[in-house]
Amino acid sequence: MIRVTNLVKAFDGKEILKNINVTFPQGSTTVIVGPSGSGKTTLLRCLNLLETPTSGSIAFDDTIYTFTPNEPLSTAQVLNLRRKSGMVFQSFNLFPHKTVEQNIIEGPIIVKKQSKASALVQAHALLEKVGLSDRAQHYPHQLSGGQKQRVAIARALAMEPEVILFDEPTSALDPELEQEVLKVIQSLASEHSTMIIVTHNLEFARNIADFVIFIEAGHIVETGNVAQVFEQPQHKRTQEFLNLFGRTTY
């Protein structure tokens, strides 16, 4: 379980996240939706310290990380928190000069000190899981966008994180390739992996989420399960946002 308490993130004195309080249950898929610039990705990046919160706290199970402007976390604390999560970016972020196989084994060998033989066994199992067992020796430039993103998912899984963070995982893909990636994420959801996903794809959010967070202007406007948020939104702004995507009844 991840618990975020009174989280604030400011850039140059401007608050992007404003007193965020939310819990992400273990073994569940939480989808974060909201308009562009609302703070969705900033919240996601704060969870693994790609952005350092200005104040507040993040708790992973019984370990609490508290943020204050004058007392930064130690390097050990930062690394410990980051090891708990795997990040999948919208731009894939694969190493272009390494094969698919090498991209996946890099983290386990360097960070986890796993043997190369063990890492290779794991990598090939993960490639089979994401439907790319025949692409191990390919380089990223030889792959489609959907294949690159599936490799990125396998790479994140190789670190055996407690939670997987997805930042708009299909936004750079055309509809056909998007379906390849969504199928893999849906498979992970069926295994009760803990996932937090930022997406603009509301149909996907409806189909995969256990919980939905609607955020705007740095505030969490509404949270709840899929039926609560999509079928019976309590806040007018949530209703307006859903209507923009073609939904006119509640």
150-167 residue pLDDT tens = 999 999 999 999 999 999
The 3-state DSSP class for residue 39 equals coil
> What is the H or E stretch that residue 77 is in?
helix 75-82
Phi-psi region of 114 (alpha: psi -120 to 50; beta: other; left: phi over 0): beta
Map out the domains of the chain as residue ranges: 2-84+163-244, 96-160
Give me the pLDDT at residue 62, please: 85
Q: Which parts of the chain register pLDDT below 50?
A: 246-250
Give me the pLDDT at residue 244, please: 79
Is residue 199 within 8 A of residue 166, CB to CB? The reply is: yes
Give me the pLDDT at residue 170, please: 87
Residue 113 φ/ψ, nearest 5 degrees: 60, 35
- Count each helix (H run) and each strand (E run) in the chain, helices first: 9, 10
2-84+163-244: which CATH topology?
Rossmann fold (3.40.50)
| pLDDT tens column, 227-241 | 999 989 999 999 999
Q: Report the predicted TM-score, pTM, of the whole model to 2 decimal places.
A: 0.92
Of 12, 16, 21, 14, the closest CA to residue 56 belongs to: 21
Give me the pLDDT at residue 243, please: 84
DSSP assignments along 93-138, one per residue: ---TTS-HHHHHHHHHHHTS---HHHHHHHHHHHHHHTT-TT-TT-
Positive or negative: CA dihedral 5, 11, 12, 18: negative
Query: For residue 84, what is the DSSP state?
Result: T
Tell me which amino acid residue 150 is.
R
